Chain A
C-alpha cells in the first residue's frame, strides 16, 4: 500500500511543484496520473518510488516512512518498484539483453537463471528477436518497450510508468496498456502517468489528476 499524507515538494530554488497532496493506493490497483505538462506528474511518481524525498509531509510504502529512512535503506525500497522513466534511461553502450539484465544483476541474479527471465521479459514486449541489437538501432517505440521489459524483469510488486505510450501508435499503445493490465490482474500495482489515458483505458482504474501541483481525484466511469 502506498500512502501520501499532505506531501509538498519543492526543488532547490523552485516553488511548490506539488502542494499538500494526499492519496492512498491499494496493492493491485490500476492508477492513472494525468495533468498538463509541468503539472508535477513525474515528480509525484519519483516521490512514490523513493527517488525524491518530500519537502513536507509523509510518504509511506508498505508502512515504511520513506522520508525518515536512512540513505542506505533507500535502495532496498526502490527495488520493490519497476520503473519506466519518461526519458527511458536506456544504456546505449550495451545490447538490449544486457539492458534488461541490469535490475537482475542489482538483485544478485545472474547466469542462466537471469537469461531465462530476460528472454521472457523481452518476449512479453515483442523484442525477443532483437536481444543482441544495440538500443540505438531500435525505433522510439521499440526503445520504450525495451524500457518496459527492464522494468518488469525483476517481477516488481509495483510498476510505475512515466508516459509509457508517448511514442507509440494507437495499436502499440493498446498493446502496452493491455500488458500493464495483465500485470495488474496478477496483483501488481500499476501506476501510469499519461496525457491521454482517459481516452484509451479499458480497465477499471483510479485517476489522480494534477493541475499545477494540486491533486484532485475525479470520478471515473468505465
Chain B
C-alpha cells in the first residue's frame, strides 16, 4: 500500500516536473481547454439566473376565479374564507358581477350592446395575486381553486411567464448540445496533446515494456497529465466565466435599477466549480486513456 502510494506520488512529481519544463505551451493548451469549457459554463450561469428570475420576480400576473352564476352569497363567503387561509396567496379582491358590468358600461361602445341584453351576463369573480410564480405551485393552486364549490373556471394570466420558461427549456437543450460538442472538442484537444507527448517518450515506453513494465505503469503518467490538463483548464475556465459574468453584471445593474429590480447574473457557485473541475478531469482521464491505448504497444510483436 505504502509502496503503491509512493510510486503514484513519484509519478505525479515526475508529471508535474515535465509540465513545468514546458510551462508556456502547457499554459496555452490549458487556455484552449479553458475557453472551450468557459462557454457552456457561462451559458449555464445565464440560464440558471433567468430561471431563478421566473420564480422570484413579482409581476402583475394574477389568477382570475370566475364563479358560477348560481353562486349564493354564502358560497361566495366560504370561498372568501378559504382564500384568506391559502399560504400561496399574497392578496386578492372580490368583484361582484354588478360591479363588473358597471365597469364595462363605462365604455360607451359597450353600453349600447349591453343595454340590449335581458340580464347581466357577467359572473362574480375573485382576482388573486399569488406570492410565488413558480409554475408548479401556481398549477397546484389553480387545481385546488377549481375544486371549490361554486367555482366555474380558473384562469391563470401567465402567458409571458410560460413563454419565458419555454425559452429557458429551449436554452437548456441548446446548452446540452453545446456542452456535448465542446466536450468532444475537449476530448480531441487533450487526446492530441497526450499523443504528442507519447511520441516524444516513445523510447522510454519501448524500453520500459522490454524490461517488464505493465500497461498500467506506462499509462499512469499520461493519465495524470490528462487529469492535470483538465483541472488547470477548469480553473482557468472558472476565472474566465467569473470575469465575463461580472462584466455583464456591470451593464445589467444599470438596466435593473431602471426597472427597480436587483436582478443580476449569478457567479459560479461551489457546485458549479466542483462539477466543472470533475467533468474536465474526467474528460482528461478518458481521452488520455484512449490516446495511450491507441498509441502504445506497437513496439512488441
Distance of A51 Cα from B300 Cα, bound (Å):
7
Pair A103/B214 contact, Cβ less than 8 Å: no
Chain B, range 192-245, C-beta contacts under 8 Å to A: 203-204, 206-215, 217
Q: How far is the CB of A72 from chain B (nearest CB, A)?
A: 7
Q: With an 8 A cutoff between CB atoms, is B298 at the interface?
A: no
Task: Name the interface size band of chain B.
Answer: 20 to 34
Distance of A78 Cα from B214 Cα, bound (Å):
10
Pair A110/B6 contact, Cβ less than 8 Å: yes
- B297 nearest in chain A by CB position: A71
Mostly, the B contact residues are helix
Q: How far is the CB of A159 from chain B (nearest CB, A)?
A: 12
| Chain B contacts for A76, CB-based, 8 A | 212, 214
Q: How far is the CB of B1 from chain A (nearest CB, A)?
A: 11
Pair B214/A72 contact, Cβ less than 8 Å: yes
Interface 9-mer from A83-91, A183-191, A193-201: A83-91
- A150 nearest in chain B by CB position: B211
Pair A91/B10 contact, Cβ less than 8 Å: no
Task: Name the interface size band of chain A.
Answer: 20 to 34
Pair A51/B212 contact, Cβ less than 8 Å: no
Interface flags for A87-121 (1: CB within 8 Å of B; 0: not) read: 00101010000000011011111110000000000
Given contacts A110-B7, A111-B6, whether A51 and B208 have CB atoms under 8 Å apart is: no
Please indicate which of the listed interface residues B206, B207, B208, B215 has the most CB atoms of chain A within 10 Å of its own CB. B207
Mostly, the A contact residues are mixed
Q: How far is the CB of A23 from chain B (nearest CB, A)?
A: 22
Pair B213/A91 contact, Cβ less than 8 Å: no
Q: With an 8 A cutoff between CB atoms, is B85 at the interface?
A: no
- A80 nearest in chain B by CB position: B212
Pair B203/A102 contact, Cβ less than 8 Å: no
Pair B10/A53 contact, Cβ less than 8 Å: no
Neighbour of B4 across the interface among A75, A93, A108, CB < 8 A: A108
Q: With an 8 A cutoff between CB atoms, is A52 at the interface?
A: yes
Q: With an 8 A cutoff between CB atoms, is B74 at the interface?
A: no
Interface flags for B137-153 (1: CB within 8 Å of A; 0: not) read: 00000000000000000
Q: With an 8 A cutoff between CB atoms, is B102 at the interface?
A: no
Pair B204/A53 contact, Cβ less than 8 Å: no
Binding site for B on A (CB under 8 A): 51-53, 72, 75-79, 81, 83, 85, 89, 91, 93, 102-103, 105-111
Binding site for A on B (CB under 8 A): 3-4, 6-7, 10, 203-204, 206-215, 217, 300-301
Q: A89-B203, A102-B211, A103-B211 are in contact. List 18 more A-B contacts (CB 8 A).
A: A72-B215, A75-B215, A76-B214, A79-B212, A81-B211, A83-B211, A85-B210, A89-B206, A89-B210, A91-B204, A91-B207, A102-B204, A102-B207, A106-B211, A107-B212, A110-B6, A111-B6, A111-B10
